[in-house]
Amino acid sequence: MGPRAAGESGHELALVDNAIDLELDLRCYRLSAIKKAAYRFADRFTAVLGSPAQDRIAISLRFKSTVTEVAAREATRMFFQELLDQELREQIAAETDPIRTLILAHAFSNLDLIKREP
């Protein structure tokens, strides 16, 4: 599991031309989770996604030119945490959305939202 370039697999994340290039396994992180995590980190880097090929997707984290290698690595580490969170969120949403709809329908089936005509 995890990205090929991730620190935990022993490889160093290299900042090249203000970018860190990663490849993610779509069996670990669904595409919607990757996009949402990237959106959340827009203040730290711009994520450029490649097109998915089989179970893999390339993603390039483009930092500002002023970024240090340490800061870029730290942001990338946080990005992986966020990916995990975001994947979990997608899982939970898929599981709980039907029941949310059910409860909302139950809650508002008898409610007259506008009590009086103004």
Interacting residues toward another protein by CB under 8 A: 36, 39-43, 81, 85-86, 88-89, 91-93, 95-97, 99-100, 102-104, 106-108, 111-118
d(CA 72, CA 29): 21
| Cβ atoms of 82 and 38 closer than 8 Å | no
CB nearer to another protein: give 9 or 81. 81
| Cβ atoms of 55 and 32 closer than 8 Å | no
| Cβ atoms of 86 and 36 closer than 8 Å | yes
Shortest Å, Cβ 84 to another protein: 9
Shortest Å, Cβ 42 to another protein: 4
Shortest Å, Cβ 107 to another protein: 4
